[in-house]
A = this chain, B = another copy of it.
């Protein structure tokens, strides 16, 4: 389980732009992958590889904003740096509102682009960590039986076993059993951990 090297994925329909960017990034010791269209990227990309996108705005087929939305809908979008020649203010505003980490115009200041890429890669790492944690918690939550999930909800709400028993119409002993299974399945050893975990599941 090595951590794969981050890759910068450049998507631009202009081959000369792709080559120029690729050379620049390679000279900065970055792994680069280029695509000529959003479709090509969607078909070939491996979401398990960390990194970020450097994305042109105007392209035949799906344009940059469309691709951004398509990726966002999948829930595991990498950070996106827009790099485009003829950008309008509304385009840039939409891109930023939809979560782009940077929006640069050609010709681009090389150090600006490289800084943005390093920040984006770092953000991707953080995002992946958070997604992995959330997935892990969600998986444990999914392993709970319906009854256990009910008990969990009452427990993290701060209720006593006795109160939970009353509300569910069963005896306190049964609550204890469910509660013990919840602690076991959620892999926590204290109530504080349990509350923290369930808080991270929804929010954060």
A193 with B92, Cβ < 8 A, contacts A203-B204, A204-B203 known: no
Residues of chain B lying within 8 A (CB to CB) of residue A146: none
Q: Report B-chain residues with C-beta under 8 Å of the C-beta of A193.
A: 158
Is A29 in contact with chain B by the CB < 8 A criterion?
no
Number of A positions contacting B (CB below 8 A): 27
Is A44 an interface position by the 8 A CB rule? no
A170-204 interface with B by 8 A CB criterion: 188-193, 195-196, 199, 203-204
Is A39 an interface residue, CB under 8 A from the partner?
no
Contact partner of A192 (CB less than 8 A), chosen from B88, B89, B189, B195, is B195
Partner of A89, one of B89, B157, B159, B189: B89
